[in-house]
Each structure stands twice: as C-alpha cells, then as structure tokens.
Amino acid sequence: MRLNGEIPVGRGEEDGMDGEMNSLNYSIGGVGQKLTVGYALTSKKKRSFLQPKFLSLARSKGICFIAIDLNRPLADQGPFDIVLHKLLRKEWWDIIEDYRQKHPEVTVLDPPNAIQHLNNRQSMLQDVADLNLSDYHGKVGVPRQLVVKKDPSSIPYEVTKAGLKLPLVAKPLLVDGSAKSHELFLAYDEFSLSELEPPLVLQEFVNHVLLCLIVGGILFKIFIVGETITVVRRFSLPDVTNHELAKVDGVFRFPRVSCAAATADDAELDPSIAELPPRPLLERLVRELRLRLGIQLFNIDMIREIGSRDVFHVIDINYFPGYGKMPDYEHIFTDFLLSLVQNKYKKRPTT
Ligand SMILES: O=P(O)(O)O[C@@H]1[C@@H](OP(=O)(O)O)[C@H](OP(=O)(O)O)[C@H](O)[C@H](OP(=O)(O)O)[C@H]1OP(=O)(O)O
Ligand SMILES: Nc1ncnc2c1ncn2[C@@H]1O[C@H](COP(=O)(O)OP(=O)(O)O)[C@@H](O)[C@H]1O
Ligand SMILES: [Mg+2]
Ligand SMILES: [Mg+2]
C-alpha cells in the first residue's frame, strides 16, 4: 500500500537533459541549475541507499548527489539545496547544527536535535504513548516498559514494583548505529535480568502471531518519506505461551529477525498474510508523529496484538532506515526531494 503525493514536473531542456518530461530545474540564482543534494552517510548506508538505479533516476530528474568531505569545512562545500545525513559521531552533530543555523536556505534532512530524540528507546516512543491514539479504525499504543539506567541488581524489585508482565524484551536504551545497540534479549523471569548491562529498557513482550500458517509473528514496517507512507510486512518473533513461560527461566539473546532481508522482495511477505493496519489509522499516526518528531525520514515498527483485529503497538521508531529495501523507493525518494525544493520555491515572495 503506498500513498503518494503527485507533483507536477517541467521540461529539462535548459540543462541539456534529454528533454524527458520528468526532468526538472530548480534554481537558487536562476533557471538551469540542478537540484544538488550533499550527503554525509556511513559506507554501509551509501551502499544500501545510493544504489545505481536510484542515482540514475535522480540524474534523469535533475538531482545530483555530492559526497560531503568530512575533512573539510562544510561551509566551504556546496552550495547545496539539501543536505541528507545519518552519522552518529558527536562532532558531526555540532557541525550540521551550526551549518543549519547559518544556512536557512538549505533543507537539512533532518534537524539533529529531532533525530537524537529517536536515539533513545524511551524518548522515541514517548510521542506515541502521549498520543494514545484510538478511534473507530482501531487503537495504537506502546507496550508497557521500564528504563533501568544503572544498578542491575535493582531490576527484579523495579519490575515487580512496576507490575510489568513477563516475558520482557530487554533492549539497550541508546541507539547509536552499533550492532550492540541492536542486541536484544527475551527474559522469562525478572531475576535473570540482573545479568544484563544497563542502561536498558525493559518492554513487555506482546504476542502477535497470526492464527494461520506461519510460525512467528508479523511485524509491519511503516516507511515514511515526507508525505508518503509505505507499509511492508516482515518476519517477527513467535509467541511465548504460558506453558513455555512456566517452564523456562533465564534471558536469551535473539537475532535481528525483522531487518535481515537484503531486498524488499526478500523482506516482503505474501500480501495475503496479515491484513495491513487500517490506512486512516496509519495516516493519523504518521501525521501526528511527523509533526511531533519534526522529521520526515523515519520508519515505525508496529505489531498487531494477538487475537485482535485493530489493537496495535509501536515498538520501535528508526531514523533514516533502510529505504533501499522499500518497494519503489527510487521514485518515492526522488519525488520527495523535488517536492521539498518546489515547496520552498513556491513559498518565496515573488519579486
Ligand atoms: O540495515 P538497513 O539498511 O536495513 O537499515 C537499518 C534498519 O533496518 P530496516 O530498514 O528498518 O529494516 C534498522 O531498523 P531496525 O532498528 O532494525 O528496526 C535501523 O534503522 C538501522 O539503523 P541504526 O542501526 O538503528 O542506526 C538501519 O541501518 P542503517 O542502514 O541506517 O545503517
Ligand atoms: N515488545 C515487543 N513485543 C514483541 N516483539 C518485540 C517487541 N519488541 C521487539 N520485538 C521483536 O524484536 C524485533 C526488534 O525489536 P526492535 O525494538 O525493533 O529493535 P531494533 O531497533 O533492533 O529493530 C522487532 O522487530 C520484533 O520482531
Ligand atoms: Mg526495529
Ligand atoms: Mg530500531
């Protein structure tokens, strides 16, 4: 399912393009310049996101991508219409924030302080919890959770005091792009949690297996690129039965089941498996989150509560996720970049 905002396109003769209807010129000082996107990304992200077919479609639309040289002052580079970034080193945050203040004419995707809100597994879900979204299409919430900042020996007491229901998913509190920040554990009893290393977030595990053929739950990954919403289904964890809970003790690390696929096809499951969440509910959730988070590039991991048709839980929100696995990301993302500059161009007072 994809919701796409259509944007009109102009001809591209001025810049020598092959006159394709879909090429477009945006100017800073005058007609004829291309749309220039400066990027600061990890090599992993460059490989997964700046795929050749994406770059060639971008070129055909008059968009060019320029790698930002991290060894030179950002102000000496460009000029850029847009800066796209996902780097987690501290010094970069100061550089891009300073640049953003000094260059209001450049669209920075996305503001560093907004992104940092998503680098903490407690603050990332706070807006969803505050939303408490419930209407006639269904309900979206977050699982009950507890943050443990230090002293693992206090965990059993804290869990009991908070009345959290086992099993619990233990997740590193901070998301920093490292493999360690994705090391998750399933805890069948609260005492074994004291083996883990804070800071952690302990989240109630929500059973979400479909009563149908497959072993394991289905997770909905809701990709947001500006105004567009694309939902894909991914494999998730199997249920934890009461029988298993009574029999098993301890904490067990589990693999990254939901993001392992290399391409959208591998990750995309048969559409007949697991009805997608109601579109109006998703639209409301995404509209609210885009406003409250102040970012345009993110995805939401959402699960449907077992036995329910319309009770959903958001368990994770990711900044600038693996769009390379999102169906048709090339057109969605290039249209989004063009719409950003077009909207800015429209807002300019006519001289
Ligand atoms: O590994 P990719 O490319 O699929 O993308 C990762 C995402 O997978 P997804 O697109 O949701 O299936 C992944 O999403 P999950 O946290 O696995 O749900 C993260 O966004 C990850 O970034 P980081 O390690 O949290 O900074 C993303 O890693 P980066 O691409 O940003 O390095
Ligand atoms: N509260 C939960 N209930 C059920 N399954 C969960 C829960 N939290 C995480 N999971 C499972 O673990 C996977 C990874 O958890 P997530 O919070 O998305 O971490 P990451 O940022 O590493 O993707 C999810 O895709 C889902 O399959
Ligand atoms: Mg996730
Ligand atoms: Mg995540």
CA-proximal residue: ligand 1, atom 32 (nearest)? 45
Q: What is the mean pLDDT of the chain?
A: 86
Residue 319: pLDDT over 90: yes
Q: How far apart are CA 293 and CA 131, in angstroms?
A: 12
> Ligand 1, atom 4: nearest CA belongs to which residue?
322
Pick the ligand that lies closest to the CA of residue 321.
1
Between 28 and 59, name the one with better pLDDT. Answer: 59
Domain 12-110+329-347, classified CATH 3.30.110.40, yes or no = no
- pLDDT, tens only, 157-193: 999 999 999 999 999 999 999 999 999 999 999 999 9
116-156 per-position pLDDT tens digit:
999 999 999 999 999 999 998 999 999 999 999 988 899 99
The boundaries of every CATH 3.30.470.20 domain in the chain are 121-319
Q: pLDDT tens for residues 191-231?
A: 999 999 999 999 999 998 765 545 578 899 999 999 999 99
Atom from ligand 2 closest to the CA of residue 236: 27
Q: Is the pTM of this model over 0.80?
A: yes
Question: How far is 102 from 149, CA to CA, in rounded Å?
Answer: 36
> Is it the case that residue 52 has pLDDT exceeding 50?
yes
Average pLDDT over residues 222-242: 91
Q: Which of 219, 238, 242 is nearest to 302 (CA)?
A: 219
Question: Higher model confidence: residue 178 or residue 33?
Answer: 178
> Which ligand 2 atom is nearest residue 301's CA?
18
- Is 259 close to ligand 1, i.e. is its CB under 6 Å away? yes
pLDDT at 345 > cutoff 80? no
CA 145 to ligand 2 center in whole angstroms: 13
In 3D, which of 314, 268, 326 has the Cα closest to residue 144? 314
Pocket perturbation via mutation, ligand 2, pick of 169, 180, 186, 241 by most ligand atoms within 8 A of CB: 169
Best residue for ligand 2 mutational test, from 175, 203, 316 (most atoms within 8 Å of Cβ): 316
Fold of the domain built from segment(s) 121-319:
D-amino Acid Aminotransferase; Chain A, domain 1 (3.30.470)
Within the chain, which residue ranges are assigned CATH 3.40.50.11370? 12-110+329-347
> Is 24's pLDDT higher than 70?
no
Report the distance separating Cα 315 and Cα 37, nearest Å: 32
- Residue 258: pLDDT band (50, 70, 90) is confident
Calpha distance 54→45 (Å, rounded)? 13
